[in-house]
Amino acid sequence: MKKEVFKKICLYVGIGILGLGIIIFLLNFYVWFTTRNYIIDDYSKIENIDCIIVLGGGIRGDRPSPLLQDRLDKAIELYENNVAPKIIMSGDHGSFEHDEVNVMKNYAMEKGVSSEDIFMDHAGFSTYDTMYRAKEIFGVKRAVIVTQQYHLYRSIYIARSLGLNVYGVPAEKIKYGGRVYREIREVLARGKDVIKCIVKPKSKYLGEKIDITGNGDVTNDN
Flag whether pLDDT at 222 surpasses 70. Answer: no
Lowest mean pLDDT among 16-30, 51-65, 208-222: 16-30
**Domain annotation for the chain: domains and CATH numbers:** 2-219 (3.40.50.620)
pLDDT tens-digit profile of 121-168?
999 999 999 999 999 999 999 999 999 999 999 999 999 999 999 999
pLDDT tens-digit profile of 82-107?
999 999 999 887 776 778 999 999 99
- Closest by CA to 184, choosing from 62, 21, 50, 65, is 21
Reduced to 3 states (helix: H, G, I; strand: E, B; else coil), residue 157 is helix
Residues in contact with 185: Cβ distance below 8 Å, sequence separation at least 6, in sequence order: none
First to last CA, the chain: 70
Is there a contact between 186 and 154 (Cβ–Cβ < 8 Å)? yes
Quickly state the pLDDT bin for 35 (edges 50, 70, 90): very high
